[in-house]
Every structure is written in C-alpha cells, then in structure tokens.
Amino acid sequence: MRDKRNVFWRSAVIAVLLPLLLGFGGCSVRMRSVSELMRPPLPFGDNESLQKAFYDEIGRDTQLKIPVSGKHHSAYVLYDLDTDGENEALVFYAVNGDLNAVRLSVFRKAGEDWLLREDLAGSGSEVYSVSFVDMNGDGVMEILISWTTAESKTSRVLTVYEYSGAPETDGKVLRVIASENVSAAEPMDIDSDGRAELFVLHQQVTAQRPQSFARVLKMDDETRTLYLMGETPLDADVSAYAGIKQEAVRGQPLRVFVDAYRGENQMITEIIEWNAKKERLVTPLLDPVLLKNTLSLRREPIPSMDIDADGTIEIPVQSVWPGSKMVRQGSGEAVNYAMTRWMTVDRAGKESSAVWCAMMRSERYYVALTDQELRAAIAVFGDENERTMRFCEYDNTSGAYGDELLLLITAPKAQAQSEAYRDYKRLFEGETSMTLAYITQSGVQAGLNESFLRNNIKQYTEVSANG
C-alpha cells in the first residue's frame, strides 16, 4: 500500500511542476533539428545587415560554413580587399540538400547596404582556412582559401584568388590565380626578396610508391599568375605533416622546418631553404640517394622548437636511456624511456648537440643534463599519471640501481602548499598546480643543488604550425 501511495504522490508532484517548468519565463518548448543546432550564433552589427542581404540574395535554404582553422573563424569574413577603406565580405555556405558543395558569395558595402558582387562554387565540402597575403608587392592582398574535400583525408585544395574592384567583362570580381592540391601551405618570403611566395607541401600516393614534395610558387608580375619557382623531394615515408615553422636569422636565408609524423608515434623534421647561388631548394637532412631522413627520426612525436631560446630552432632526436622507464597517461604499463638530444644544424648541414635532457611532456618541462658523467650514471623513472619524475643512481655495467637523487612532482596548489611539502623547492606555478623538487642527501653529494634546479629545469611550449 505504501508503494502505491509513493507512486501517487510522485506522479502528482510531476503533474504540478512540469507545466510550471515548461512555462517558466514565458518560454515554449520546441524540438530543434540537427541542422538548426549546428548553426552559428545570430550575428549583430555589420554582420546582421550582411546576413539580411545574404538571405535576400541567396535565400534561407542554406547552411553557413565556418573555416575550421586559421585566424578567421566566421562564415562572414570581412576584409578590405581593394584598400578603399571599406570592408568587403566573403560568405561561405552550402545549399540544403547539397551540403558537400561549399559556395562563396562576395559582397561589397554601399552606404548602409551590402550588395552582392559575385556568387561562385568553391572547391570542397568544407572551408579549412582563409588568409590574405600580398604576393606581388602592389599593396593589394590576394585571397588564399583552403578547401577540404570529402575524397581525401591527407590533402586539401588551395585556391588563390585576385579581387578586382571593377567587375571583369564576364561580371566576375574574383579571378583564380592558382589552384593546388596541398597537404599544407604557408606564405613566406623564402628567397628574401621582400615579397611573399607560397610554400606548399604535397603528398602524392601512386600505385608504385608514395612521393612527397616541397614546392614554392611565386607571382609573375606580367601575367599575374603563380609559377613554380622551385621543387624538392622529401621523405615520403610519412603519414601526415604536423606543422611548418620559419627560422629567420638576420643576415641569413630563411629556413623552413617541417615536422612530419611517421606512423602514429614517430616523427621526423625536414629542413628546407632556398639556395640563391644554385637557384633551387635544398634539404640538408635528406639522403639524396635513398630520399630518406633518418638523422632526425625520434620515437616520440616531439616537434622541433627553439628549446633553449637562442633564436634558432633545434630538432629533437632520441636514444635509449639504459634503466629508465616511463608510465604514459592512461596506461599502467612502464615502457622504455628515451633520452632526448636537441641538435642544431648549421647552414652547411653539419649537426651539433645543443641540449641533452629528460623530458616530461605531459607537464611541459625538461631537465637539462649537461654533465656527461652525470648522464651516464643515472636512470629516470617517470609517471605521467602520478605526475612525477624520479632520478636515481644507476650502474650501466651491472644494471644495478642505487639511491634516489631527485624527485620532481606536480601537484594541486592546495596539496603543494601543505606541510607535507615544506622541504620541497617550488619550480613552476600554474593556475591550478605547482611543480616542486626535492633533492635527497645522495643528490646533494652528487652535486645537485638549487642552482641546478634554477638553471637546468625549464618549462617549454610545443608550438605547432599551420597548414
């Protein structure tokens, strides 16, 4: 009987509260379609009047497309294309029923109104990125649009447009300068002539064997088209490109560092630069016969970076660290841990070591081990789940472990500031956590001290690039 009364009262409460909840604030309940839920927020200001013009000219049976990468993350991209002081607008959309075909509308501001100048088909199912660059030094930006296609996961279509304030005889205001299949691309002044070229990476999968290339496209002033300025093969045994970085050193040609995945976990770095004397691209780390880059191969996907803040980019390479183990995030299994050596490559292609270190990638810090004798006499035990890194004595000949020398731990602030960590030294402080260090008595005897902590343990930021 009690169960029946409970059911009755629960039903009564629900019956009373449900209408109140549904009617609270005068709101009504309506189920939305998936396409409605995916729409961007309603625009305001200039975008609001632009949207009205877009609906008037193109119609409402559309879905806006937002670039997924780059600086412009709106379906309405406003930019002064003709340098007259007024923004033009690029609007990306697809017609409902054909959402895999992106279209582009170009609008121009006239007083308070937006006027449609041109509507044209894009070259993909999504918009990957939009950027603007002056490639011929006339002060007017060319438009670079990267399109994602449903047919390919490793490449995109990059279209370069020139905008004309006055329509051509065919009524068009956008003219296609070039269209390339690319895996990644970035504008840069690779030949140091003061004008931007287009640096392109391209992977080509054929029935015989895959091929990879770096290409540079340059603007021809007379024809106002892009031509192939230079091309060089790259290591083709890569699964994807991770990023493009530029190293600009005063008085030296620009160098391009390209990080690429080999499989899921390994990584290599290509160096590409323009040789003015030979008038071609050169790749100092690529074996010219085998077309392989083995010198920069590492077992972890650690990108190249300026690790020691000296203004030049270093490349990480790794070797087995005897006796050392690491437990990765989400895993309870300890795997062999590698020592990371950051190398520099000079302009003649000769490499040298910049920093030897133990890296705690999950916490973005490293421990530099400049003393060769110390490196050979210790082992490291890291645990990314416990957020700890321990250094202990190790005999490389017998495989025997000795005393613990140094403990590094990252802990929540409340925990790190507790009495239990009174004897620890604070290294770094984040929003919610602190990284602390404790040197044991054996560590002190081995020469570890506060100066070592201050000078040898550094934070870093993994900067990846664009595509």
Which residue in 254, 282, 259 sits closest to 270, CA to CA?
A: 259
Mean pLDDT of 268-286: 95
How confident is the model at residue 171, as a pLDDT? 67
pLDDT 10s digits, 407-450: 999 999 999 999 999 999 999 999 999 999 999 999 999 999 99
How confident is the model at residue 442, as a pLDDT? 97
The mean of the pLDDT values for the chain is 87
* Global confidence as pTM: 0.82
Mean pLDDT of 359-385: 95
Reported confidence tier of residue 167, pLDDT bands at 50, 70, 90: low
How confident is the model at residue 17, as a pLDDT? 44
Reported confidence tier of residue 297, pLDDT bands at 50, 70, 90: very high
How confident is the model at residue 46, as a pLDDT? 57
pLDDT 10s digits, 98-129: 888 999 999 999 888 999 999 999 999 999 99
Lowest mean pLDDT among 227-236, 244-253, 399-408, 422-431: 244-253
How confident is the model at residue 207, as a pLDDT? 55
pLDDT 10s digits, 1-23: 444 444 444 444 444 444 434 44
Reported confidence tier of residue 265, pLDDT bands at 50, 70, 90: confident
How confident is the model at residue 131, as a pLDDT? 96
How confident is the model at residue 152, as a pLDDT? 74
Reported confidence tier of residue 184, pLDDT bands at 50, 70, 90: very high
How confident is the model at residue 28, as a pLDDT? 36
Is pLDDT above 90 for 354?
Answer: no
pLDDT 10s digits, 302-353: 999 999 888 899 999 999 999 999 999 988 899 999 999 999 998 888 888 8
How confident is the model at residue 2, as a pLDDT? 46
How confident is the model at residue 14, as a pLDDT? 43
pLDDT 10s digits, 13-54: 444 444 434 443 433 333 344 344 344 444 445 578 999 999
pLDDT 10s digits, 208-232: 778 899 999 999 988 889 999 999 9
How confident is the model at residue 13, as a pLDDT? 42
Give the span between the Cα atoms of 434 and 427, in whole angstroms.
Answer: 7
Q: Bigger pLDDT: 166 or 164?
A: 164
How confident is the model at residue 423, as a pLDDT? 95
How confident is the model at residue 44, as a pLDDT? 44
Reported confidence tier of residue 462, pLDDT bands at 50, 70, 90: confident
